[in-house]
Amino acid sequence: MMIAPAVLAAPVSLSAIASNSRNAINARYEGLAGVNTGLGGSPIDVALNPANLSLTKGKKVEFGLGATFATVKFQDRFLDNDPNSNYENSKTRSTGGPAPYLALKLPVTETIDYGFAAYVYGGVNGAAEKIDRNTPDGQSVNQWSGLNLPGALGNGRRIKETSENQGVFIKAVNGLSWKIGNLSLGASLELNYARQSRSIKYYDASGSFEIPGQGVSYESRKNALAFGGILGFNYTFTDWFRFGYSYQAKTSFPFDGTYTVNQGNPNYYRSTPVSYQFNLPEKHSIGFAIGPENFKVGIDFVYSNYGSYLKNVHQHLGDSWYPSPQGKTANVTGHLNYRDQWAALIGLEHKISPEWTYRLGYSYNSPIVSPNGLNGAQGIVLTFNQVVAAGFSYATGPWSFDFGLSYFLPGKKVDGGRGTDWALTHAINGPNEKNFAGYSYSTQAINSIGINFGATRSFD
């Protein structure tokens, strides 16, 4: 089984719960740290627990814009008997991205409600940019690249490497809820759109120019569509207590696309198709809403079985042109070793007047990344554990204007394992030789801020 480069990583984005999705879609739930399963009451519920559509009275539409800004720190070090092979990197990288959303809720009958939502579900923006390293085969730069660089640039083994992992995930959801006394049942059908691209580029030791004929890149097809679904229910025991449950089905993306190798060298440039199926896991959520209508406390518990789908990911190329530590291959495997994730959330929503409502929230989630799956080009949030949030709404006439803010507390520094894909492709100290004891690396999510502005319009 061949080893993929460290850039072969699962898509991730800024999320307190699933690490593949945003902490919250709309501004209201952003201020509650993502609490929604038992609470409900927004048109966006069609994409979370569709049974909760029955809790939103009349015709409503909501829309808004979320944005996330985050910082991650990558460090690595290589120590060898040959001091000319030693290097050390410490890179801090900041990134951000917008996430618009639109949702509407319409009553169909007295007991049936319809909902629709379209929104950016998540994204990928991982990179390790121009880090020092030795050549992938341990030879001199000139021997490895076939160039004739002068002096130490060509005779030494030092180069710079940039690994990038980019993408976007968008959803369109249609769903119904059916109210039977105190029980509401709901179901939604999702159409998912996604794109991914990954690349590795190599530069000379000064970082001034890209070395031709040594890069590799992957691009998924532009129309990767996948269906998904959500089932849910809620039951109102009393005016003060409601219970909810939702199930998010697995989503399987056909990320077939194209690999190119030896970019920048017309004599050796190659392009080949790739077969690649990527799965997002199931998610189970249970939630409780406690208290009167003007003072609700929501509590959610969430479980996602990442370990069932993202232990390894496989890509199958049409031709054996992919460079790996074992030679050129057509079978590329990324050993992600993701773990199942548990999360607990609590949020408070207090309506202090007909116009003003404030919200507070907190969530804790177990990290999905393990030392045996870490790599330097992974996304930002894989080491985040805790989120604190706050928000408010101002209502006037048929309008409600909402604001939510979430802050991810700094994550723990995670040290990468000795036998990971990243270590296998960076612990180089000579032709066909690796120094795993001399190479070490770590990643830490420093901080992240989520901001969300939204508005809801009632037509009754």
* Residue 19 lies inside a defined structural domain of this protein: no
* Residue 3 lies inside a defined structural domain of this protein: no
What is the pTM assigned to this prediction?
0.90
* Residue 247 lies inside a defined structural domain of this protein: yes
Domain at 348, CATH number? 2.40.160.60
pLDDT score at 327? 75
Give residue 368's pLDDT band: very low, low, confident or very high (50, 70, 90).
confident
393 CB-near residues (< 8 Å, 6+ apart) = 28, 356, 357, 359, 400, 401, 402, 403
Cβ atoms of 247 and 284 closer than 8 Å: yes
Give residue 429's pLDDT band: very low, low, confident or very high (50, 70, 90).
confident
Q: How far apart are CA 114 and CA 93, in angstroms?
A: 42
* Residue 116 lies inside a defined structural domain of this protein: yes
255's enclosing H/E stretch is none
> What total number of domains does the chain contain?
1
Q: DSSP E strands: which ranges in 181-223?
A: 183-203, 216-220
Q: How far apart are CA 170 and CA 147, in angstroms?
A: 43
**How many CA atoms are closer than 13 Å to the CA of 394, on its beta-carbon side?**
3
Highest mean pLDDT among 206-210, 234-238, 310-314: 234-238
* Residue 8 lies inside a defined structural domain of this protein: no
Q: What are the helix (H) ranges across 110-234?
A: 141-145, 151-155
pLDDT score at 384? 66
**Per-residue pLDDT tens digits for 311-331:** 888 899 998 888 876 778 888
What residue numbers bound the domain in which 97 lies?
A: 27-458
* Residue 2 lies inside a defined structural domain of this protein: no
